[in-house]
Structures are given as C-alpha cells and as structure tokens.
A and B are shown apart, each in its own frame.
Chain A
Amino acid sequence: MSEMWINMGPQHPMTHGLWNLRVKIDGEMILDVDPEMGYLHRGIEKISEDRHYNEVVTLMDRCCYVAGFAWEHLYILASEGALHIQPPERAEYLRVLCDEFQRIGSHIMWYAAFVQDLGLMSPFLYGMRDRDLVLDLFQSYTGARMTYEYMRVGGVRSDLPPGFTDRARQVLDWLTQRYEEYDQLCLGSTIFRKRCDDLGTLKAADCVAHGVTGPMLRAAGMKRDLRRDRPYAVYPQLDFDVAVADGADVTARYLVRMEELRQSVRILRQVVDWLDRHPGPVMAEQLPRWLGAPYAPVGAEGYLLKRNFPKGVGFSSVEEPHGEAQAYVVNEGGEHPYRVKFRSPVFANISAARQYLVGYHVADIPPIMGSVDVCVGEVDR
C-alpha cells in the first residue's frame, strides 16, 4: 500500500485557521487533495436577518480578522443600495482610507505569516511590527484595533481626530522604506527564490474556470481589479495602477502583493490630501429613525408597513485584499434585512486547491497554501 490519505488540519500551522486539507500522497508526491471547510461556520448570514442594518456591521468585522474594513464596506455598499441611501462624499473617502490601510495591514500580515511558513522568523517580526502602526492608526479613529464597527449605513461613525493626516503620512513614509527591506529579505535571498519559483502554478484560464480572484488571478497575468473594472466608492477619482505579474507561481503572487502595497500607499497619499482639503459631514442628512445607531423601538410592525418604506435589493462587489467579495442584501421594508448573502473570495481560492497542489511535494504545501492567503473566518462565515 503505497498511497494514503493524510489530514493536514484542522489544527495545522499551514491552515492559518480552522479547515482541513486532505492530501493523498505516494511517498513525497501529492496525488490528490480535498479541502474541507466548515469548521468555523457561525451562521453570520442567518444571524444578520435578525439584526438591525447597522448591527450587522459588528458581524462583518468578525468575518475576516485581518480585513474587517473591507467586509464592512462590502456590506454597507449593498445595504445602501437596498435602502436607497447616498452617503456624503467625505464618508466615501474615509471608507477608501479604511479599505486601503486595511489592504496594507492584510498584505503585511500575509507577508509575515507566509514567510514564517517558509521557516524564516525575522520577517515575521518585522511584518507584525509594521502592521501595528496601521492598527494604531485604526485605533485612533475607531477606538479598536481589530473589530472597528466604524462604517454605518449612510456614512461613517465619526470624523478623523485632529492631526490624523500628519500621522498617516508619517506612517506611509515609514512603510515605504520598509517595503524595500521586505524585498531584500525575500527576493534577495536565493533560498527563498529556489523554494518559491515555479511552485503552485495556476494559469489564468484555470483561475477563471474555478472563480479564483484577487492577487492569485493577477499573478497569472490577468489584469482584473474591481477597483478599476467595476469602480465603487471614489476609486474612479483616484490614480493607481493594477499590479500584474506573469509567472502564476508563488513568487509572482509575492510580487503582486508587494506591488499592491506600494499602490495602496499611492492611493492613500491622494486620499489623505483630499481629506485635508475637504471638510464636511460624514453622515447622510436624513435617515429613517431605525437606521440611526441608537435603536429605539420603532413601534408596532404595522406602522412599518403603513409608512411604506421603499423596498429594494442591493448588490455590491468589493476588491478585498484576498480577492473579489460580493454581497447581496434584500430589503423587504422592515427594520432588519430580509436576506443577506456573501460571496467569499478565499472560498473559491482554496476550493481550487487540486489545480495548484497536485504534482508537487508534501513539503511544498505550506508555501503554496501560504501564497493563497487563507482567512477562514470569511470562508465559513
């Protein structure tokens, strides 16, 4: 008996969360893989049906612990579509500020975890140190480091504190210097290059066939970024490039993420300058009472129906740090959403594991799966 199935997970450093990768091996060779998800299912979509529109935001932060803002933005965009509410422009810029800082935080977190998967410890420490600055910035205007609860239907919770933009610029300067160091540590190391080149190849056609999006798709040479292709918020007014690499391997995914870190800095400099020049309201002028943050009782159900609040459905798609996330919110006229559905990019990315794992060695699994950037909180929701 030369072939056997082994379980990598649900408790394994490779998984970065709680999921199980069943691997069929013959000696060192991977013959087949079978990803199993669902260990972290919390029923967020169902719980959302019993909450006020704004209260769902607290769940969105728990969807992905490194990209909470991206999920908040996703849900809020869909809800505003369903409720026919237009936020003020400053609130949209603030959301983009959150999104891009979150992308930096998420990619640095990915860098730290991925390089540690390869067995290198010091890049992990540098990555976590620099991510902490981003978290400090988040704390300075939301009050929390990971569960922000900042975005609201119709705007955001509060405006930036005084002096924020100066601090943000200093952090951006600091991060720009650190990116060079990251590249020296990884791309300058022959060990890293020998480990990662031509590993876990997933061509663009396979990506499209399996719904793989985000940095994995762009690493395969396809220039697909929702910020440019289906712009939301104020991205059309911002100047940035889509990072593309053509290698479709682990190194290409590294290059794409590093370029995205630099592009995020470029976007953030424009956003911070805009925020400096344009003070204004951060919450919509008129909101129905039960959409304000203090949820007073709204009275009998009959009154909601009598008031004839417009119904609607909202759909949004957001370029999350991991890929294309989508949300669908149905508003049947009540104080709670009637139905909420999310599409997680990481779910598709790890579902295609058979395509980029079979044929490599068992020891290649941690770098390959590390390059996918798995966040199980959003896979299972």
Chain B
Amino acid sequence: MSEVEAKPKANENPILFVARPMATAARQFARSLVRPSTIVYPFERLEDPKFRGQVAVAPGKPIGLGEVWDNYRGVHALNIETCISCNLCAFSCPDLCIDMVTVPGGDPKHPKKCPQIDYGKCSYCGFCSDACPEGCLTMTTRYELSVTKRADMVYSPQRLNEVFRTRLPMSPIRLARPANEDSILLDPPLCIGCNACSRDCPTECITMLDIPKPEAKPGEKFPKRIWKEPVINDSDCVRCGTCISVCPKECLFWGTRK
C-alpha cells in the first residue's frame, strides 16, 4: 500500500517562486507550436479525412483520436425501403420522441409506418438503432442541428431518408444480444383463431394452421371460435411484439420455447 510521500518543503527562493510553473507553461507553449491541440472548428472538422487515422499523440499531429469519429451517435438515417414498420424503435425510445407515421408505399390493409423523430426531445441514446432488427434506422455523424423554428426539429421519415442518402459514416456499433432470446408462445385454450396476429405481423412469419375441431360431447358447448391457431416461425421472427399487442384475447406471451 502506498502512502503519498510527505509534502516537500515549500520553496522560498523568490525567483523560483514563479519561475518553475512558468517554465512548464513555456515548455507547453513551445510544444503547442509544433503540435497544436486545437482544431479550428468551422474551418477544420474532426471528421475531415486529414484527421482520420491519427492516433492520440503521434509527433507532429494534433492531439486527439481522429479515427473514432464514425461511432458518433448523431442524427438518425432511415432507409425507408427496408423498414418493416415493426414499431420497435418507438417502443424502445425512453424519451417518447418517435412517432410512427404513415408513408406512401403500403397497401390499404397494411399502411406502411416509419419513424418520425422529434429532435427537441431526443437524447441520442441509440436505443432505437439498437432495437432496429433490419438495420434500417442507424445513427450518423451529423451533429449540426440548429434551426429557428421548433417545428423544424421534427424530422419526418422522408427527411431521415434524405440523411440516409447523403451516405454519412454510420455507427458500426451493434448491440451485443443475448444468445438465447425469448420467443413468443401461445396459450392455446385462450386463442379464438381471429388471425389478428398473422395479419399484422411485419415479417409475415405467423401462419394460421387448421386445428381439428373436437367432438362435442352431449350437453357441452364449445366457445365460439375459428378453428385455427397461429404457428410462429422463430427464425424469421424479429421479436417486435406486434402480435402480442394486437391479440384481443391476450393469449400470446414471451417465454422460452421448450
């Protein structure tokens, strides 16, 4: 265990009084002429190619880590074409700044909904891009967002798609997911075979299969239902939970498949 050494006696020489700290400052000043630590912001930018790939303290280079810029969590980029309208970004947003708005392109029964982000509320936590199962909502390095009206802070899906088209570097960070994820399970006695889950599934991984109608015993009355049951393809499922939220009988739930 280390004890910090006793305090050295204060130096009383009147010249060294100020000379020592100033010598350090002068050394720093001389070094800063060779190796500046400031990037002149509006004219130079950290994301400029000339600062890329420079490691912290290489001689003759500005102090800083230029190659880390790609990971920055800035404005989102949305690829509308691959968005499957699964709602996961909106569900995962802690600030409730994502609204799912209808965009053209869906059929009348399946309106296509894509995220619209209010940057007045967004905290850039990245949970939405972590949640996106298709990788169509990612975060870019764009960070200059000043506007003059509050309404301009709301980015529609089309505007987010324009950010995507500019092909800024996007964050390569991908979430470390648990190896065994929970699946969606069915509680068969409650199901009425209404097809709601299969109809709304964004990946169309739910198939309604016929189940045999049991023989009615005398005097017994069956519940009124369609004799079908959803079967979920786990490999296609993105675990968005849309089926759970549309199920009228609450018969779908998360669990480990045996």
Interface residues of A (CB under 8 A from B): 51, 54-55, 58, 120, 122, 126, 129, 132-133, 136-137, 139-144, 147, 149, 154-159, 161, 163, 166-167, 170-171, 173-174, 181, 184-194, 197, 223, 241-247, 251-252, 255-256, 259, 263, 281-290, 292-300, 302-303, 307
**Minimum CB–CB distance for A246 against chain B, Å:** 8
The residues of B with any CB-CB pair to A shorter than 8 Å are 1-4, 7-8, 10-12, 16-18, 20-21, 24-25, 28, 37, 55-57, 63-65, 67-69, 71-73, 88, 91-92, 94, 123-127, 130-131, 133, 139, 171-182, 239-241, 244-245, 247, 250, 252-256
One of B1, B56, B123 near A136 (C-beta < 8 A): B56
**Residues of B contacting A54 with CB < 8 Å?**
127
Among A126, A154, A163, A295, contact of B91 (Cβ-Cβ < 8 Å): A295
A296 shortest CB reach to chain B, Å: 3
Could you tell me if A129 and B63 are in contact, using CB atoms closer than 8 angstroms? yes
The residue from B12, B55, B173, B181 contacting A292, defined by CB atoms under 8 A apart = B181
Specify which chain A residues have a CB less than 8 angstroms from the CB of B171 in the assembled complex. Answer: 143
Q: Do the beta carbons of A293 and B130 come within 8 Å of each other?
A: yes
Most chain B CB neighbours (cut-off 10 Å) among A122, A174, A194: A122
Task: Tell me whether A293 and B37 are in contact (CB under 8 A).
Answer: no
- Complex contacts, A184 vs chain B, CB 8 Å: 20-21, 24
* Among candidates B91, B130, B239, residue contacting A157 with C-beta atoms closer than 8 Å: B130
- Contact of A51 with B94 in the complex, beta carbons under 8 Å: yes
With contact pairs A143-B71, A286-B180, A294-B239 given, residues A299 and B88 touching in the complex (Cβ less than 8 Å): no
Across the interface, B250 reaches (CB within 8 A) one of A122, A287, A302, namely A302
Residue with the highest number of chain A CB atoms closer than 10 Å, among B65, B124, B133, B177: B65
| Residues on A with beta carbons closer than 8 Å to the beta carbon of B176 | 155-159, 281-283
Which residues in A have their C-beta under 8 angstroms from that of B130?
157, 293-294
* Closest B residue, CB atoms, query A302: B250
Contacts of B92 in A (CB 8 A): 293-295
The interface residues of chain A lying within 8 Å CB-to-CB of B125 are 58, 147, 149
Q: Which residues of B contact A295 (CB under 8 A)?
A: 91-92, 131
The complex places the Cα of A288 from the Cα of B253 at a distance, in Å, of: 12
Cβ B178 vs Cβ A144 within 8 A:
no
- Docked Cα-Cα span, A137 to B37, in Å, equals 16
| Whole-angstrom CA separation of A140 from B64 in the bound complex | 12
CB of B94 within 8 A of CB of A285, answer no
Q: Which residues of A contact B94 (CB under 8 A)?
A: 51, 55, 58
The complex places the Cα of A283 from the Cα of B178 at a distance, in Å, of: 6
Decide if A158 touches B175 in the complex (CB within 8 Å). Answer: yes
Cross-chain contact of A185 among B17, B21, B73, B250 (Cβ < 8 A)? B21
